Amino acid sequence: MQQIHDDLAGALEKCGIEELNLHVVQQKRPAQESSNLPPVLDASPKAEPDPNNPPIQKAAPQQRDVPLHPRIKHVILVSSGKGGVGKSTTTVNLALALQKMGLKVGVLDADIYGPSIPTMLGNAGETPLIESENFVPLDAYGMAVLSIGHLTGDNNTPVAWRGPKATGALMQLFNQTLWPDLDVLMIDMPPGTGDIQLTLAQRIPVTGSIIVTTPQNVALLDATKGIELFNKVGIPVLGVVENMSTHICSNCGHEEQIFGIGGGDKLSEQYHIPLLGRLPLNAQIREHADQGKPSVVAMDDAADSYIDIAKAMWEQIEKIPQRTRDDKRIF
């Protein structure tokens, strides 16, 4: 190549061209003219399937596959999709109403970040005993009760946990608690449709859910998301409770629908689920809950409404086909 370059440069120099840049493009030989070299083989070792460690191909667990608790017949979720609609107040009063019907009832506070069940049931500040590395639930009006609020020691300690730790705490409260034989365990859900809701749907056997809402459109939008989530994970929605449906003035007796009219009816018609009942916006409900004596205990003006809703809810529970429990399972 260098000889060709020099000869060509010398010839062009006579013509006044002083610099030559020579580029050579070499054409590849056709495949049939290539040398008869052996093909290149992949000599890297191939992984043999390990029967003890098969590849992970497990789908997300479905509610129908979650084993039942050996001592709890029905787990009922009380959800709202939105905070501030009276979900916790409804939970404790429905639990007490079911107890008045002769059922054995427990309450689990799954609102890890904002537990209010201890205050409403009058045992805030109490802590559960530990027996064989299991929690012993506290007693409140004859019901077995447990909340993360019973473990923090006071009402001022925030629970600043990320999702995995919060869901882990919830599973520990459910599985590592010596629940007595219960007909119903009412679980007070946190607002929203996040980690805790998905964990409950995939790892805790749930009979059905109750949606608590107010008549206003903003609450209905979030309640709708809650219903859609339960439909996707296979948890039956037993019905809707419309809270704060009407207000009656304590001075003049005038009735006014402060948050609108017919919100519960809209959800009932849209999803073909029963409207279990309506609850008034009544100062006695708030006062008695703050005192740790819910309406069903105090037997105030709203007590009968809670009892009627509990009866309607139990009718829906009895319509659901029951699975066989494994009484030998140990949590």
Read off the pLDDT of residues 164-185 as tens digits, 9 standing for 90 and up. 777 888 888 999 999 999 999 9
Can you give the pLDDT at residue 237?
Answer: 95
Can you give the pLDDT at residue 208?
Answer: 94
Specify the DSSP element, H or E, that contains 8: helix 2-13
Can you give the pLDDT at residue 159?
Answer: 67
Can you give the pLDDT at residue 259?
Answer: 78
The pLDDT-based confidence of 196 (bands split at 50, 70, 90) is confident
Which of 49-58, 263-272, 275-284, 301-310 tops mean pLDDT?
A: 301-310
Report whether pLDDT(262) > 90. Answer: no
Q: What is the mean pLDDT of residues 263-290?
A: 90
Q: Yes or no: say if 60 and 103 are a contact pair by the CB < 8 Å rule.
A: no
Better pLDDT: 76 or 38: 76
Q: Rounded CA gap, 119 and 66, in Å?
A: 32
Report whether pLDDT(143) > 80. Answer: yes
Q: Which two tokens stand for residue 8?
A: 């060509």
- Residue ranges per structural domain of the chain: 72-318
Q: Which two tokens stand for residue 12?
A: 């062009």
Query: What average pLDDT does the chain have?
Result: 83
Range name among 7-11, 177-181, 221-225 with the lowest pLDDT average: 7-11
Chain centroid, CA 223 distance in Å: 14
Can you give the pLDDT at residue 29?
Answer: 59
Q: What is the mean pLDDT of residues 227-240?
A: 91
Can you give the pLDDT at residue 85?
Answer: 86
Q: Which two tokens stand for residue 133?
A: 């590395």
Can you give the pLDDT at residue 35?
Answer: 54
Topology of domain 72-318 in CATH is: Rossmann fold (3.40.50)
Q: Which pairing describes strands 72-79 and 255-256: parallel, antiparallel, or unpaired?
A: unpaired
Q: Rounded CA gap, 146 and 159, in Å?
A: 16
pTM of the model: 0.77
Q: Rounded CA gap, 162 and 217, in Å?
A: 30
Per DSSP (E only), the strands in the chain are: 72-79, 105-109, 129-131, 134-136, 138-140, 143-147, 182-188, 208-213, 237-242, 247-248, 255-256, 275-278
Report whether pLDDT(330) > 70. Answer: no
- Of 320, 284, 315, 324, the C-alpha closest to 300 is 284
What is the Cα gyration radius of the chain? 34
User: Counting beta carbons within 10 angstroms of the beta carbon of residue 19, is it exposed (0 to 12), middle (13 to 18) or buried (19 or more)?
Assistant: exposed
Better pLDDT: 37 or 321: 321
The pLDDT-based confidence of 36 (bands split at 50, 70, 90) is low
Report whether pLDDT(110) > 60. Answer: yes
Can you give the pLDDT at residue 39?
Answer: 67
